[in-house]
Amino acid sequence: MFNSSGGGINLNKITIVIPTLNEAPGIGPTIKEYQGTFPRAHTLVVDGRSTDGTQKIAHSLGAEVIQQEGKGKGKAIETAIKHIKNNGYTPNYIIFTDGDYTYPAKPVLKMIKILEKYPKVGMVTGNRFHTYKQNGNQKDVFNLGNLLLKFLHICLNKIWMKDPLTGLRVLKWTLIKNWKPQAKHFGIEVEMNNYISKQAKIIEIPIRYRRRLGTKKLRLRHGLSIALQIIKNIRISIKNRSLKSENKN
Protein backbone atom coordinates (compact mmCIF):
# COMPACT_ATOMS: atom_id res chain seq x y z
CA MET A 1 0.00 0.00 0.00
CA PHE A 2 1.25 3.49 -0.77
CA ASN A 3 0.65 6.58 1.30
CA SER A 4 -0.39 9.50 -0.87
CA SER A 5 1.09 12.02 1.58
CA GLY A 6 4.53 10.76 0.59
CA GLY A 7 4.05 11.46 -3.09
CA GLY A 8 3.69 7.80 -4.10
CA ILE A 9 6.47 6.32 -1.98
CA ASN A 10 5.93 3.50 0.47
CA LEU A 11 5.74 4.98 3.96
CA ASN A 12 4.35 1.94 5.75
CA LYS A 13 7.53 0.03 6.58
CA ILE A 14 9.77 2.62 8.15
CA THR A 15 11.49 2.68 11.54
CA ILE A 16 12.70 5.99 12.95
CA VAL A 17 15.60 5.51 15.38
CA ILE A 18 16.36 8.37 17.80
CA PRO A 19 19.28 7.91 20.23
CA THR A 20 18.86 10.16 23.28
CA LEU A 21 20.61 11.24 26.44
CA ASN A 22 18.93 14.04 28.39
CA GLU A 23 17.11 15.55 25.41
CA ALA A 24 13.98 16.76 27.22
CA PRO A 25 13.86 20.14 25.39
CA GLY A 26 14.12 18.62 21.90
CA ILE A 27 12.68 15.10 21.96
CA GLY A 28 9.03 16.18 21.99
CA PRO A 29 9.23 18.51 18.96
CA THR A 30 11.40 15.94 17.14
CA ILE A 31 8.94 13.07 17.59
CA LYS A 32 5.92 15.25 16.72
CA GLU A 33 7.55 16.45 13.49
CA TYR A 34 8.66 13.01 12.34
CA GLN A 35 5.36 11.38 13.28
CA GLY A 36 3.55 14.15 11.42
CA THR A 37 5.59 13.42 8.29
CA PHE A 38 5.58 9.62 8.75
CA PRO A 39 2.34 8.82 10.63
CA ARG A 40 2.60 5.05 10.05
CA ALA A 41 6.27 4.73 10.97
CA HIS A 42 7.58 2.87 14.01
CA THR A 43 9.35 5.39 16.26
CA LEU A 44 12.08 3.85 18.41
CA VAL A 45 13.80 5.98 21.04
CA VAL A 46 16.98 4.39 22.38
CA ASP A 47 17.79 6.15 25.62
CA GLY A 48 21.10 6.26 27.47
CA ARG A 49 19.60 6.48 30.98
CA SER A 50 18.36 10.07 30.82
CA THR A 51 17.58 11.81 34.10
CA ASP A 52 15.61 14.78 32.76
CA GLY A 53 12.35 13.11 31.75
CA THR A 54 13.30 12.36 28.13
CA GLN A 55 11.94 8.80 28.32
CA LYS A 56 8.62 9.94 29.80
CA ILE A 57 8.11 12.58 27.09
CA ALA A 58 8.93 10.13 24.29
CA HIS A 59 6.62 7.47 25.72
CA SER A 60 3.75 9.94 26.12
CA LEU A 61 3.96 10.69 22.38
CA GLY A 62 3.59 7.06 21.40
CA ALA A 63 7.24 6.19 20.76
CA GLU A 64 8.65 2.83 21.78
CA VAL A 65 11.32 3.60 24.37
CA ILE A 66 14.11 1.17 25.20
CA GLN A 67 17.24 1.52 27.29
CA GLN A 68 20.50 1.17 25.43
CA GLU A 69 23.22 -1.29 26.32
CA GLY A 70 26.41 0.43 27.46
CA LYS A 71 27.20 4.09 26.88
CA GLY A 72 27.59 6.30 23.81
CA LYS A 73 25.79 6.87 20.52
CA GLY A 74 27.49 3.88 18.90
CA LYS A 75 26.08 1.54 21.53
CA ALA A 76 22.64 3.14 21.11
CA ILE A 77 22.64 2.35 17.39
CA GLU A 78 23.90 -1.18 18.03
CA THR A 79 21.08 -1.65 20.57
CA ALA A 80 18.53 -0.37 18.04
CA ILE A 81 19.65 -2.80 15.33
CA LYS A 82 19.52 -5.74 17.76
CA HIS A 83 16.08 -4.73 19.02
CA ILE A 84 14.59 -4.34 15.55
CA LYS A 85 16.00 -7.67 14.44
CA ASN A 86 15.17 -9.64 17.60
CA ASN A 87 11.59 -8.39 17.75
CA GLY A 88 10.66 -9.38 14.25
CA TYR A 89 10.39 -5.91 12.73
CA THR A 90 10.97 -5.91 8.97
CA PRO A 91 11.22 -2.29 7.86
CA ASN A 92 12.23 -1.32 4.34
CA TYR A 93 14.04 1.76 5.59
CA ILE A 94 15.70 2.96 8.77
CA ILE A 95 15.81 6.67 9.54
CA PHE A 96 18.50 7.77 12.00
CA THR A 97 18.05 11.24 13.45
CA ASP A 98 19.00 13.10 16.64
CA GLY A 99 16.63 13.97 19.47
CA ASP A 100 17.61 17.63 19.73
CA TYR A 101 15.36 18.96 16.91
CA THR A 102 18.30 19.87 14.66
CA TYR A 103 17.29 17.69 11.69
CA PRO A 104 14.01 18.46 9.87
CA ALA A 105 11.80 15.59 8.73
CA LYS A 106 10.68 16.98 5.38
CA PRO A 107 13.94 16.23 3.46
CA VAL A 108 13.65 12.57 4.47
CA LEU A 109 10.80 12.13 1.97
CA LYS A 110 13.22 13.04 -0.81
CA MET A 111 15.85 10.74 0.69
CA ILE A 112 13.46 7.78 0.59
CA LYS A 113 12.48 8.59 -3.00
CA ILE A 114 16.16 8.40 -3.98
CA LEU A 115 16.53 4.97 -2.34
CA GLU A 116 13.42 3.70 -4.13
CA LYS A 117 14.48 5.10 -7.50
CA TYR A 118 18.12 3.97 -7.50
CA PRO A 119 18.70 0.32 -6.47
CA LYS A 120 22.48 0.78 -6.22
CA VAL A 121 22.11 3.49 -3.54
CA GLY A 122 22.09 2.10 -0.01
CA MET A 123 22.21 5.22 2.13
CA VAL A 124 21.16 8.86 1.72
CA THR A 125 22.44 11.44 4.20
CA GLY A 126 21.72 15.07 4.99
CA ASN A 127 24.52 17.56 4.31
CA ARG A 128 24.57 20.36 6.92
CA PHE A 129 27.49 22.41 5.65
CA HIS A 130 25.67 24.76 3.25
CA THR A 131 23.46 25.75 6.22
CA TYR A 132 26.51 26.64 8.30
CA LYS A 133 27.57 29.12 5.63
CA GLN A 134 24.09 30.56 5.19
CA ASN A 135 23.73 31.12 8.94
CA GLY A 136 27.22 32.59 9.28
CA ASN A 137 28.27 29.79 11.63
CA GLN A 138 31.30 28.57 9.68
CA LYS A 139 33.62 30.08 12.28
CA ASP A 140 31.96 28.20 15.14
CA VAL A 141 34.56 25.93 16.78
CA PHE A 142 32.35 22.84 16.43
CA ASN A 143 31.77 23.48 12.74
CA LEU A 144 35.48 24.04 12.14
CA GLY A 145 36.11 20.76 13.94
CA ASN A 146 33.61 19.05 11.66
CA LEU A 147 35.40 20.44 8.62
CA LEU A 148 38.78 19.18 9.84
CA LEU A 149 37.36 15.72 10.50
CA LYS A 150 35.69 15.79 7.08
CA PHE A 151 39.03 16.29 5.33
CA LEU A 152 40.65 13.60 7.49
CA HIS A 153 37.80 11.26 6.54
CA ILE A 154 38.29 11.95 2.81
CA CYS A 155 42.08 11.64 2.91
CA LEU A 156 42.28 8.46 4.99
CA ASN A 157 39.01 6.64 4.37
CA LYS A 158 38.90 7.51 0.65
CA ILE A 159 35.14 8.10 0.94
CA TRP A 160 34.14 11.44 -0.56
CA MET A 161 31.38 13.00 1.54
CA LYS A 162 30.71 16.67 2.13
CA ASP A 163 29.34 15.91 5.61
CA PRO A 164 30.54 12.48 6.80
CA LEU A 165 29.46 13.08 10.41
CA THR A 166 25.84 14.04 9.80
CA GLY A 167 23.28 12.52 12.14
CA LEU A 168 20.47 12.38 9.56
CA ARG A 169 20.64 9.15 7.57
CA VAL A 170 18.20 6.91 5.72
CA LEU A 171 19.31 3.35 4.94
CA LYS A 172 17.95 0.20 3.43
CA TRP A 173 17.37 -2.20 6.32
CA THR A 174 18.69 -5.16 4.34
CA LEU A 175 22.14 -3.57 4.25
CA ILE A 176 22.40 -2.84 7.95
CA LYS A 177 20.48 -5.62 9.71
CA ASN A 178 23.56 -7.84 10.15
CA TRP A 179 25.94 -5.02 11.04
CA LYS A 180 27.72 -5.28 14.38
CA PRO A 181 29.24 -1.84 14.95
CA GLN A 182 32.41 -1.50 16.98
CA ALA A 183 32.45 2.26 17.63
CA LYS A 184 31.04 3.13 21.03
CA HIS A 185 30.60 6.86 20.72
CA PHE A 186 30.39 9.51 17.97
CA GLY A 187 32.74 7.60 15.67
CA ILE A 188 29.73 5.49 14.74
CA GLU A 189 28.96 7.67 11.69
CA VAL A 190 32.46 7.10 10.30
CA GLU A 191 32.15 3.35 10.79
CA MET A 192 28.70 3.37 9.16
CA ASN A 193 30.04 5.23 6.10
CA ASN A 194 32.79 2.67 5.73
CA TYR A 195 30.41 -0.28 6.17
CA ILE A 196 27.78 0.92 3.68
CA SER A 197 30.28 2.12 1.06
CA LYS A 198 31.53 -1.46 0.66
CA GLN A 199 28.04 -2.63 -0.31
CA ALA A 200 26.32 0.28 -2.04
CA LYS A 201 26.51 3.93 -3.08
CA ILE A 202 26.03 6.82 -0.68
CA ILE A 203 24.25 10.01 -1.78
CA GLU A 204 24.07 13.31 0.11
CA ILE A 205 21.40 15.98 -0.20
CA PRO A 206 21.54 19.50 1.31
CA ILE A 207 19.37 20.07 4.36
CA ARG A 208 18.53 23.00 6.60
CA TYR A 209 20.28 22.36 9.91
CA ARG A 210 18.66 23.98 12.94
CA ARG A 211 20.18 25.04 16.23
CA ARG A 212 19.71 22.33 18.83
CA LEU A 213 17.22 22.60 21.68
CA GLY A 214 19.13 22.01 24.89
CA THR A 215 22.82 21.94 25.79
CA LYS A 216 25.56 20.94 23.33
CA LYS A 217 27.11 17.59 24.19
CA LEU A 218 30.04 17.39 21.77
CA ARG A 219 33.44 17.93 23.38
CA LEU A 220 37.04 17.83 22.16
CA ARG A 221 37.33 14.20 23.28
CA HIS A 222 34.51 13.27 20.90
CA GLY A 223 36.44 14.76 17.98
CA LEU A 224 39.49 12.74 18.99
CA SER A 225 37.31 9.61 19.22
CA ILE A 226 36.05 10.20 15.67
CA ALA A 227 39.59 10.72 14.37
CA LEU A 228 40.71 7.47 16.01
CA GLN A 229 37.76 5.64 14.42
CA ILE A 230 38.81 6.92 10.98
CA ILE A 231 42.34 5.62 11.55
CA LYS A 232 40.98 2.31 12.89
CA ASN A 233 38.92 1.83 9.72
CA ILE A 234 42.03 2.34 7.60
CA ARG A 235 43.97 -0.26 9.59
CA ILE A 236 41.11 -2.77 9.22
CA SER A 237 40.91 -2.15 5.47
CA ILE A 238 44.67 -2.64 5.07
CA LYS A 239 44.51 -5.85 7.11
CA ASN A 240 41.60 -7.18 5.02
CA ARG A 241 43.42 -6.40 1.76
CA SER A 242 46.51 -8.18 3.09
CA LEU A 243 44.48 -11.28 4.02
CA LYS A 244 42.85 -11.36 0.57
CA SER A 245 46.27 -11.11 -1.07
CA GLU A 246 47.61 -13.97 1.06
CA ASN A 247 44.60 -16.16 0.21
CA LYS A 248 45.16 -15.61 -3.51
CA ASN A 249 48.78 -16.68 -3.18
Does this model's pTM top 0.85? My answer is no
Q: Are 19 and 48 in contact (CB under 8 A)?
A: yes
Above 50 in pLDDT, residue 3? no
**pLDDT given at position 217:** 62
Closest among 188, 166, 160 to 72, alpha carbons compared: 188
Contacts of residue 185, defined as CB under 8 A and 6 or more positions apart, other chains included, come to 71, 72, 73, 74, 222, 225
Per-residue pLDDT reduced to its tens digit, 168-210: 999 999 999 999 998 877 678 988 999 999 999 999 999 999 9
What is the domain extent for residue 174?
A: 4-248
Q: Are 206 and 103 in contact (CB under 8 A)?
A: no
Show the 3-state SS of the chain. CCCHHHCCCCCCCEEEEEEECCCHHHHHHHHHHHHHHCCCCEEEEEECCCCCCHHHHHHHCCCEEEECCCCCHHHHHHHHHHHHHHCCCCCCEEEECCCCCCCCCHHHHHHHHHHHHCCCEEEEEEECHHHHHHCCCCCCHHHHHHHHHHHHHHHHHCCCCCCCCCCCEEEEHHHHCCCCCCCCCCCHHHHHHHHHHCCCEEEEEECCCCCCCCCCCCCHHHHHHHHHHHHHHHHHHHHHHHHHHHHHC
**pLDDT given at position 37:** 97
- In this prediction, residue 129 has a pLDDT band, given cuts at 50, 70 and 90, of confident
Q: Are 38 and 11 in contact (CB under 8 A)?
A: yes
- In this prediction, residue 1 has a pLDDT band, given cuts at 50, 70 and 90, of very low
Per-residue pLDDT reduced to its tens digit, 215-236: 876 554 544 555 565 556 555 5
Above 50 in pLDDT, residue 138? no
Contacts of residue 233, defined as CB under 8 A and 6 or more positions apart, other chains included, come to 156, 157, 190, 191, 194
Please state, in angstroms and rounded to a whole number, the distance separating the CA atoms of residues 108 and 30. Answer: 13
Per-residue pLDDT reduced to its tens digit, 139-155: 454 455 555 555 565 55
Pairing of strands 169-172, 14-20: unpaired
Read off the pLDDT of each residue in 1-29 and give the average, rounded to a whole number. Answer: 81
**pLDDT given at position 183:** 82
- In this prediction, residue 110 has a pLDDT band, given cuts at 50, 70 and 90, of very high
Instruction: Tell me the CATH number at 163.
Output: 3.90.550.10
How many domains in the chain?
1
Read off the pLDDT of each residue in 29-48 and give the average, rounded to a whole number. Answer: 98
Return the percentage of the chain with pLDDT > 90, whole number. 60
Above 60 in pLDDT, residue 125? yes
Burial 121-132 (b: 16+ CB within 10 A, else e): bbbbbbbbbebb
Q: Count of CB atoms within 10 A of residue 210's CB?
A: 16
Above 60 in pLDDT, residue 241? no
Mean of the per-residue pLDDT values of the chain = 83
